[in-house]
Chain A
Amino acid sequence: MQDFPYLTVLTGLPLLGALVVWCLPKARPELAKIVALAWSLVVFVLSVVMWIAFNPGGDRLQLRESYQWIPTWDARFTFAVDGIALVMLLMVTVLVPIVILASWHDADKSRRSIPTYFALLLLLEFTMIGVFAAADIFLFYVFFEVMLVPMYFLIGSFGGHQRQYAAVKFFLYSLVGGLFMLAAVIGLWVVGGHTFDWVALTNSDFATNTGRWLFLGFFVAFAIKAPFFPFHTWLPDAGGAAPAGAAALLVGVLDKVGTFGILRYCLPLFPEASRWFAPWAIALALIGIIYAALLAIGQNDLKRLVSYTSIAHFGFIGVGIFAFTTQAGTGAVLYMLNHGLATGLLFLVVGMLVARRNSANIRDFGGAGKLVPVLAGVLFFAGLASLALPGTAPFVSEFLVLIGTFTVNKPVAVIATVGIILAAAYVLWMIQRTMQGNLNPTLVDEPAMRRDLNLREKLVVAPLILLILFLGFYPKPVTDVINPAVQATVQDVGKSDPAPISGTTTEAAVK
C-alpha cells in the first residue's frame, strides 16, 4: 500500500464531494446532509489508513508524490507530509464529519440553499487538506489563498448578527497577509534559483538581509492567520458571526495553518532570520497570552469569548515554536491538535446552547444547568479541557511548552504561566454565569431550553470528549509521530536542545 497516492486522493476526494453535494436538488436537503456526512467519513477512513502507512521512524517527508504543473516556473503538484502535517491532516478529517453532524440544522433557518452549505464545508475541507499536504510552496500558496473563499461565504451567507462586516473583515485581513506572502514567495522563487520545491529551497542559503525580509513576508501572513497579537482583531468578529460549525473549523483548523506555516516554512527556510526575530515573536506571543485572556474575561458574547481564549492559546503555541527546543516544539504541535479538539468542542457546545436560546449573550443565561444538565456537563468538560486541566489533552501540551521554554528562557515561562491562571478565571466565570446560580426566569419561557442534548448532539460531542481524555492520558502515539519532525525543524534552525535533559526528555515529561 506504500505506493498508493494517498495525499492526492485525500485532497481530491472532498473537492469531488463538494461538487456532488452542490449538484444535489435543493428540495431534498436531507439527502445533501447524508451524502456530505458519508463522504467526510470516507475521507476520515482514508486518512486513518494513511496514518498507518506513515512510518514514524522513517524519512522526514513521506508519501511524496509529484506531478508536473507549470514547467515554465517549475511549479509542481508536490504532496508530502512530515509528522506535523500528518497530525494536522488527521485533525481536519476528524473534525469535518463532526462539524457536518453538528451543523445539521444550521442552514435550515437561513433561507439559503442547504446543499450549498454542506458543499462549502467539503470545499473548505479540500483546501484545508491541500494546505497541509502541499510540499511545493506555490501549491501551498494557492491553497492558502483559496481557503478564504469557502470560509468567506460560510460566514457571509450563513452567519449570524453582523455577518457581512465579519466576513469582509476576515477576507480583507487574510488577503492582505496573503499578498505579503505572495511578494515573499516570488522573492524566494527568484533568489532560490527558480524553484518552488520545499526540499531544494531549505537547502539553499540566502543573504542575511534577503532572508530577513522574506521571513517577514511569510511571518506577517501566518501571524494574521494564526492570529497573533496585534493582528488578531478579525478573529472575534469572524468567530462571533460564523455559524457554530464553521467557527469550530475556523478556529480549530484554519488558524492552525498560521502556526503550521511558521513551523514548516519560516523556520526551516530562514533559520538565521528565525533566530533573529525570535525574541520579537515571543514578545508578541506573551502579550497575546495575557491581553487576550483579559479581554476574554470581559466578554459578554459566548462565541467572542471562545474566540479570545483561542488567541491566548495561540500565544502559548507561539512561545513553544520560538523557544527552539524539541520539547517546546512538540508541545506546540500537540497544542495545535489539542486546541483543535478542545476549542472545537467548546465552540460546538456553545453553538448548541446559542441555538437553543437564540442568543449568545451571557446575560441571557444563568442557572441553565438546571434545565439542560447534560449540556452543562459537556460545556464544563470543554471548559476544563480548554483551561488545560490535568487529565485532559491540552494539559500535556501546555506543560511541555512550559518546561521546554523554562530550560532556555525562564522569564518567558514564568510570564506564560500567568496565562494559565487567567484561563481558569475566564472559563470558570463563564460557566458560573451561564450554568450555575439562580435560574434566569426568561430561560423557562424558551421551549428549546428544556430540551437537553439529543442523540445527534451526543454523537457530535462523544468522539471529541473521548479523544481529549485519551490523549490526556496517553499522548504517545501522537508524540511519536511529531517528535522526529520537530527535532528536524529545531536542527534546521541551528539550535540544539539543552544538554542535561536531551534525548529521552519527551517520554519522561509525558509520563
Chain B
Amino acid sequence: MTIKFPAFDYAAIAPILIVFGLAAAGVLVEAFVPKRARYLTQLVLTLGGLVAALVVLVTQADTRVVTAGQAIAIDGPALFLQGSIIVLAIMAVLMIGERALERGGPFVAQAAITVGSEEDRRQAARADGATEIYPLTSFAVVGMMLFVSANDLLTMFIALEVLSLPLYLMCALARRRRLVSQEAALKYFMLGAYASAFFLFGVALVYGFTAQVQATPGAHAGGVDFATIHAAAATSPANRALLFGGLALIAVGLLFKATAAPFHVWTPDVYQGAPTPVTGFMAACTKVAAFGGLLRLLYVAFEGARWDFTPVLGAIAILTMLVGAVLSVTQTDLKRLLAYSSIANAGYLLVGVLAGVREGISSTMFYLVAYGFTVIAAFAVVTLVRDADGEATHLSRWAGLGKRSPVFAGVFTFILLAFAGIPLTSGFISKFAVFGAAIDGGQTWLVIAGVITSMILAFPYLRVVVMMWLSEPGESTPTIAVPGALTAAALVIGVAATLVLGVAPAPLLNLSDTAAQFIR
C-alpha cells in the first residue's frame, strides 16, 4: 500500500501558515529572549505577523481552490472571514498589549497559583503580566482561520480544538478578581469539552451515514469531507436518521461556540470573568469563526437537508434572540449586559445564516465584521472606566459618567446606539442586511421575531445611556483613565468603522457580496 502525499497549494494557505509560524516564533521568544525585552518583542512580532498575514491574504484575494487533499477550501467566504479575523485580532492584540492602564498589563504571569495566597497577591500587585498571552492569541487565530476554511469535519474538529484551548487559558489570566477569572476558565473549559465531545460524536454518525450510502456496489468507503456528505445527502436512499442525528450533534458543538441558546449559559460568566481584552477578542473573533464554520457546514455539506434543519435552527434562533434580549434587561453588570447582548446578536446572525440564499451568506459576513468592530470598541471603553480596584463594571457606577468625561460617554453612547440598530451606524445596516436576506429567503417569521426582540433589547441599552447622561454623578463614580496609545488606537478603529460602515457601507457590502460563493 502506498500513501500518496496530498498536494498543497502553499500560496493559498500562506496566511494560515504565517500566523502559525508567528505563534511558533512567539513560543521561541518566550524561551530565548531575556525577560526585560519580551513584552516589546512579542507585541511587535505579533502585530507585525498579523499585518503580514493580512497583506498576503489580500494578494490571494482571487484564489478559489480546494487544497491539502480536500481538507482546506480557500474560497470567497474563507478569505473574507480570515481577513475579518485577522483585522479584529489586530484590534484585540492592541488592547491586550495595553500596559498604561495598569502596572504590568491586565494579565498575571501565572494563572494556576492558588487564589488568595501570598504569592498570588504578590503577582497581582507587582509582577509583570504573562507575555505567553501573545503566542496563545496567535494559536487561537490560527485555529479560527483554519476553522472557517476547513473542508472536512475532522479538520474542522482540529481547528475547533486549536482555537479553544488557548482561549480557556487566556480566560484565567485576569489580574483583578482572580477567583472569578479562574472560575470562568474552568467553566468554559468543562462546557467546551462537552461541546467538543458532542461535535466528535456527530462526526462519527455522519461518517456512518456516508458509509452506509456508499456501501452500494462499486462505491468506496464513506468520508467526512463536505463534498462526500453533500453527495450522500442528495442521493441517499438510506435512512436519514444518522444524517440528522449527526448534524444535530455537530450543530451543538458549533452553536456552543456561537453562544446560541440553549447552549449559551457559559457566556455571561466567562465574559464577565475573563480579562476584558480577552472578552473582546472572544466576542469578536470567536463569533466570526463559529458562524463562518456554521455557514460552510450548512451551505456546503448539509445544503440538501435545508428544509429539515431550518425549522429547528429557526426555533433556536428565536430562543437565542429572546433569551439574550429578555435577560439583558435584568443585568446590572456591564460586562454581563454585553454578554447577553452578544447572545441576542448570535440570534440575529442565525437569522442571516438561515436565509438560505446567497444574500444570507453575504449579510451574515457583513454583520460579523460590523459587530466585531463595535463590540471590541465597547469592551475597550469598559477597560477605561476604573477605580482603585480595577474596572468598575457595575452599572450603578457608571451614573453621571457623561458629566465626568463627555467624550467617552459620547463614544459609548454611539456604540450602544449601534447595538440598538439606529441608522447611520453599522448596527442598522447589518440588521437590515440579515433581515432583508431572510425575507428574501422566505423566513419572514424569523424577521418578525428579530424585530420584536430588537424592541426589547433597546431598553437595556437605553438604560445605560440614561445612567451615563441623565443621572447625577455619585460619590463612587469612577474616573475614566486616559487610554494608552494602544487602547486608543483600538477604540478609534472600532468607532470609526462603526460610523463608516453605517454611513458608507457600499464597499464592504460589495466585497461581502462578491465573496459570498462557496466552492465544494
Contacts and interface: CB of A to CB of B under 8 A. Distances in A.
Contacts of A171: 458, 462
A163 interface: yes
A323 B424 CA distance: 37
A172 B462 contact: yes
A156 B465 CA distance: 10
A145 B423 contact: yes
A187 interface: yes
Interface in A134-151: 141-143, 145-146, 148-149
A186 interface: yes
B417 to A, nearest CB: 7
B271 interface: no
Nearest to B434: A186
Given A142-B424, A186-B436, A149 B469 contact: no
Contacts of A113: 406
Contact of B510 (A71, A141, A148, A179): A71
A164 interface: yes
Given A72-B506, A175-B458, A183-B435, A149 B448 contact: no
B455 A176 contact: yes
Interface string A195-217: 00000000000000000000000
Nearest to A112: B403
Contact of A186 (B435, B454, B459): B435
Nearest to B362: A72
Contacts of A186: 432, 435-436, 439, 447
A73 B432 CA distance: 10
A42 to B, nearest CB: 24
A203 to B, nearest CB: 21
A190 interface: yes
A71 B508 CA distance: 11
Interface residues of B, number: 34
A224 B48 CA distance: 53
B179 interface: no
Interface string B451-492: 110110011001000100111000000000000000000000
Interface in A319-370: none
B474 to A, nearest CB: 15
Contact of A179 (B440, B455, B506): B455
A141 to B, nearest CB: 7
B197 interface: no
A283 B44 CA distance: 70
A149 B458 contact: no
B159 interface: no
B247 interface: no
B451 A190 contact: no
A175 B423 contact: no
B424 A72 contact: no
A180 B444 CA distance: 13
Interface string A151-193: 0010011000001100110011001100110110011011000
A210 to B, nearest CB: 10
A69 interface: yes
A172 B505 contact: no
Given A71-B510, A183-B435, A186-B432, A142 B466 contact: no
Contact of B435 (A70, A168, A180, A182): A182
A467 B119 CA distance: 80
Contacts of B506: 68-72
Interface of B: 406, 417, 420, 422-424, 428-429, 431-432, 435-436, 439-440, 444, 447-448, 451-452, 454-455, 458-459, 462, 466, 469-471, 504-506, 509-510, 513
Given A70-B505, A179-B455, 13 more contacts: A70-B429, A70-B506, A72-B506, A145-B422, A148-B422, A171-B462, A172-B458, A172-B459, A179-B452, A186-B435, A186-B439, A186-B447, A187-B439
27 contacts: A69-B504, A70-B506, A70-B509, A71-B510, A72-B509, A142-B424, A143-B423, A146-B422, A146-B423, A153-B469, A156-B469, A156-B470, A168-B462, A168-B466, A175-B420, A176-B455, A179-B452, A179-B454, A183-B435, A183-B448, A183-B451, A186-B435, A186-B436, A186-B447, A189-B436, A190-B436, A190-B439
Interface of A: 68-73, 113, 141-143, 145-146, 148-149, 153, 156-157, 163-164, 167-168, 171-172, 175-176, 179-180, 182-183, 186-187, 189-190
